[in-house]
């Protein structure tokens, strides 16, 4: 219930944070693949 109200209050910032985290994970993964590391 608390989490739902928090999400309703800040849906845009949660979405932005999720996108930033996803982009960071993808870029780190691409760098690792570039250098030949396997995740």
Helix (H) or strand (E) holding 2: helix 2-9
For residue range 1-39, what is the model confidence (pLDDT) as tens digits? 566 776 677 778 888 999 999 999 999 989 988 888 665
How far, in Å, CA of 32 to CA of 20, rounded? 18
pTM for this structure? 0.55
- Can you read off the two tokens belonging to residue 20? 């930033």
**Domain segments of the chain: what residues?**
2-35
The rounded distance, in Å, linking the Cα atoms of 39 and 37 is: 6
């Amino acid at each position: 219930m608390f989490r739902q109200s928090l999400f309703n209050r800040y849906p845009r910032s949660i979405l932005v944070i999720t996108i930033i985290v996803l982009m960071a994970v993808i870029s780190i993964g691409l760098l690792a693949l570039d250098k030949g590391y396997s995740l």
